[in-house]
């Protein structure tokens, strides 16, 4: 297996060897927005029930990569791709794989909390209802389980009929996480989930992510390197659309093998 090679972004290092199952395997992925080559020869294996952080300066392709994993990137008409991504050994860029099916297994939480303008209850019940669940008792159970899973049940259990907009930003973000849990995904993509939150809410979400990784595989884009160091098991460093280095988080932050990683994590650019 190749060691870290910045040139063609094939990065699995010796220390990445693990018995863990690969959830997402990306091979030679390239992505263009029209003429803009946004992702270049990405090779990356994401392991189950871990937190994988994606770091790198603005515009390096972090969000694009995340949105490729649930095919949201296809909503941009100019997008074209080459290469292969498998999710649990199934090729997802293949048109035969329905994006809707993928998205029931791969949930996403965005930078800005984006609850629906509906009651807290309806925010959580929305996804299950779309999937055909109508039984009130079953929906009640899903709502409670999801809110408990996002560690917000005790704060909202007496106000489930109130509009979610009445909650604080940190609470809204946990409602959005609960909404994702309600569709029972096995992967949760998080695009800078705490960047709009105060330190206390950030801390709660970080604790929550640590809990969630017992049951889910989590991929998180973050600009906050302390956050990546605190909560992730592995970290990928992106630069100009390439993966420069991918390794265990401890290694990336204490002994990176590429000078550009070292320069970035020590704040010399970005
Ligand atoms: N919808 C789009 N159409 C055209 N180009 C785009 C589009 N979205 C992103 N890009 C370009 O693709 C490249 C990667 O952008 P992306 O948003 O993935 O970077 P990022 O690392 O997530 O940045 P940030 O940290 O600022 O969110 C950039 O050059 C960006 O301008």
In this predicted structure, what is the pLDDT of residue 143? 98
Instruction: Specify if 159 maps to a domain.
Output: no
Instruction: Specify if 132 maps to a domain.
Output: no
Ligand 1 site, CB within 6 A: 33, 36, 38, 56, 58-64, 76
Sheet with 187-191, strands from edge to edge, namely 106-109, 187-191, 217-221, 51-55, 234-239, 242-248
**What is the residue-level pLDDT of the chain in tens, covering all 270 positions?**
333 334 344 455 545 667 889 999 999 999 999 999 999 999 999 999 999 999 999 999 999 999 999 999 999 999 999 999 999 999 999 888 999 999 999 999 999 999 999 999 999 999 999 999 999 999 999 999 999 999 999 999 999 999 999 999 999 999 999 999 999 999 999 999 999 888 998 999 999 999 999 999 999 999 999 999 999 999 999 999 999 999 999 999 999 999 999 999 998 887
Instruction: Specify if 163 maps to a domain.
Output: no
- Name the residue with the closest Cα to ligand 1, atom 1: 76
Distance from residue 123's CA to the centre of ligand 1 (Å): 29
Report residue 253 as tokens: 């932050």
Q: How far is CA 156 from the centre of its chain?
A: 25
- Name the residue with the closest Cα to ligand 1, atom 2: 33
Report residue 133 as tokens: 């669940």
In this predicted structure, what is the pLDDT of residue 16? 61
Q: What ipTM was reported for this prediction? A: 0.98
Question: Three-state DSSP class for 137?
Answer: helix
Q: Which domain, by its residues, includes 39?
A: 14-114+169-265
CATH code at position 37: 3.40.50.300
Instruction: Specify if 147 maps to a domain.
Output: no
Instruction: Specify if 231 maps to a domain.
Output: yes
Instruction: Specify if 110 maps to a domain.
Output: yes
Q: Which residues, in sequence order, are CB contacts of 101 under 8 Å at separation 6+? A: none
Instruction: Specify if 243 maps to a domain.
Output: yes
Distance from residue 109's CA to the centre of ligand 1 (Å): 18
In this predicted structure, what is the pLDDT of residue 95? 83
Instruction: Specify if 255 maps to a domain.
Output: yes
- Name the residue with the closest Cα to ligand 1, atom 29: 59
Question: Three-state DSSP class for 69?
Answer: helix
Distance from residue 50's CA to the centre of ligand 1 (Å): 26
Q: DSSP letters of 87-132?
A: ETTEESSSTTS-HHHHHHHEEEE-SS----SSBHHHHHHHHHHHTT
The domain total for the chain is 1
- Name the residue with the closest Cα to ligand 1, atom 14: 61
In this predicted structure, what is the pLDDT of residue 94? 86
Q: Give the sign of the dihedral formed by CA 222, CA 223, CA 229, CA 231.
A: negative
Burial code (b: 16+ CB inside 10 Å, e: under 16) for 216-254 equals bbbbbbbbbbebbbbbbbbbbbbbebbbbbbbbbebbbe
Q: How far apart are CA 68 and CA 253, in angstroms?
A: 26
- Name the residue with the closest Cα to ligand 1, atom 8: 64
In this predicted structure, what is the pLDDT of residue 5? 36
């Amino acid at each position: 297996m190749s060691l870290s090679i910045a040139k063609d972004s094939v990065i699995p290092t010796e220390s990445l060897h693990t018995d863990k199952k690969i959830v997402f395997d990306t091979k030679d992925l390239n992505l263009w927005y029209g003429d803009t080559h946004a992702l270049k020869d990405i090779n990356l294996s994401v392991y189950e029930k871990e937190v994988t952080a994606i770091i790198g300066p603005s515009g390096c392709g972090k969000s694009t990569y995340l949105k490729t994993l649930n095919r949201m990137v296809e909503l941009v008409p100019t997008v074209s791709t080459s290469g292969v991504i498998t999710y649990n050994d199934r090729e997802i860029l293949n048109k035969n794989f329905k994006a809707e099916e993928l998205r029931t297994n791969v949930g996403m939480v965005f930078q800005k909390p984006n609850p629906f303008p509906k009651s807290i209850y309806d925010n959580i019940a929305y996804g299950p209802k779309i999937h055909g669940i109508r039984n009130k008792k079953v929906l009640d159970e899903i709502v409670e389980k999801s809110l408990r899973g996002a560690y917000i049940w005790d704060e909202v259990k007496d106000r489930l009929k109130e509009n979610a907009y009445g909650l604080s930003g940190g609470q809204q973000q946990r409602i959005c996480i609960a909404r994702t849990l309600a569709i029972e995904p096995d992967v949760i993509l998080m695009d800078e989930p705490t960047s709009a939150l105060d330190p206390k809410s950030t801390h709660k979400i970080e604790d929550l992510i640590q809990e969630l990784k017992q049951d889910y595989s989590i991929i998180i884009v973050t600009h906050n390197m302390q956050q990546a160091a605190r909560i992730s098991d592995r970290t990928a460093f992106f630069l100009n659309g390439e993966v420069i280095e991918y390794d265990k988080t401890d290694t990336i932050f204490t002994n990176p093998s590429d000078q550009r990683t070292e320069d970035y994590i020590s704040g010399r650019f970005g």
